[in-house]
Amino acid sequence: MIEEWNGTSSTKLTKTATITATNANSSITIQRSSNAFTHISQRILQAFVPEGFPTSVTPDYVPFQVWDSLQGLSTYVRMMLSTQALLSAIGVGEKSATVIGATFQWFLRDLTGMLGGVLFTCYQGSNLDSNAKMWRLVADLMNDLGMLMDLVSPLFPSAFVFIVCIGSLSRSFTGVASGATRAALTQHFALENNAADIAAKEGSQETLATMIGMALGMLLARITIGHSFAIWISFLSLTMFHMYANYKAVCCLSLNNLNCERCSIVLSHFLKTGQVLSPKQVSSMEHVLPLWMTPWSPKGGDSLYKRVHLGVRVSSLDSLAMINLLQSAGSHYKKEKYLLQQKGGTVRIITHKDSVAADILQSFIHALVMAKLDDQDGSISSESQSWMAKHYEVFLLKLQSSGWKTERLLSSSVVWRANWLVDYSTDKND
């Protein structure tokens, strides 16, 4: 007897048939265990969920995808309304409109978006990984702004080109930020090195949401045509839901990579209790809104990391700070690939030109400890050095056992580095 099983994971198998052979008359009997409908439904499901689901993805995959699909649905419904308004403003359906005029306006719109995408990547590309949650929200907020500009454009014919260029610029930021953060989140979801499979299935889910959204958008555009008040009410209502769904989506994420804020939250708790918070616990404490919206954020978070400046340019220091830095290079930082300089409540990190990812993480944690000790009395440098010698390795082990990745610190690129030489025979530092 041979049993036939079907499934993409050893834990999610379904018996489809039992094959029995008899020696008496050499006959074979096949007994089907599942009907055609069950088999077809499983095949359809495999086009939308990763292979081995749910064990092949992180627990926050499902809630994130649900909210992400809902926000995508509302986006495509609104897109039909904004596109309708944009085409009307260009002159589609009017005898006075010219093909070359509409083409030139569309060209300016696309050109502005392309240039904006390149400039945004130049200034913020390296920062997208470290703040994936925040930039995911910002990307969709900029997309909302772009759609709003398209919807407003028919109301101001004299400023039409300027308005649609602003909208295109906003959407260019969306394209760069959304694509980059999506890549980071895909890596986070992949538990079995299946990032490509997850990305492909996410594309299928987005396509389904697009088709449903476009159908609903066409229906809504047909119903509200010629009724400006109904169009605006529908657009603003869907925009509010879109913002809410995006906020809920990023709040579902429990990222296990250490960025500046998460590192600050975990270390502050460790200094108080000796215990390390899990990624899920930290996710409910970190800010997901941009820094300028921090006063309106309902979460407390931890602001210790704001007092640490990573990758400071040496020539930007004053003469006294430079002298103190050179003295500390020969006394406190003989083996480390970084230097710390504390002044006015802030800690500045100068990284060595040969420092690697582990040195960057160590320097940032050391700076956080120094910033924390700055609120107390005593010798900050010696106390922070003593803490690092006694507790740093233990802290890293506890981070790893709690599910954190400690290979690197997700931060902005460190573009300024330094090289220092210490002559211990003459106590001369360069």
pLDDT per residue as tens digits for the range 333-379:
667 888 888 877 889 999 988 889 999 999 999 999 998 887 555 56
What are the DSSP calls for 174-223, one per residue? HHHHHHHHHHHHHHHHBSSS-HHHHHHHHHHHHHHHHHHHHHHHHHHHHH
The pLDDT value recorded for residue 39 is 65
- Cβ neighbours of residue 94 under 8 Å, at least 6 residues apart? none
Contact 287, 297 (CB under 8 A): yes
| Average pLDDT taken over every residue of the chain | 83
Tokens in use for 23?
């020696």
The pLDDT value recorded for residue 121 is 81
**Which pLDDT tens digits describe the chain residue by residue (430 residues)?**
787 776 666 556 767 777 777 766 667 777 776 666 666 777 788 888 888 888 889 999 999 999 999 999 999 898 888 877 777 666 554 555 566 666 777 788 888 888 888 888 877 766 777 888 988 898 889 989 988 888 888 888 888 888 888 988 988 888 888 888 888 899 999 998 889 999 999 999 999 998 998 899 889 988 888 888 888 999 999 999 999 999 999 999 999 999 999 999 999 999 999 999 999 999 988 888 776 665 555 454 567 888 899 988 888 888 777 777 777 666 656 678 888 888 778 899 999 888 899 999 999 999 999 988 875 555 677 888 889 999 999 999 999 999 999 999 998 888 889 887 766 555 555 5
Give the pairing type, strands 346-351 and 338-343.
antiparallel
Angle at 194 between CA 10 and CA 70, to 5 degrees: 100
Q: Residue type at 426?
A: T
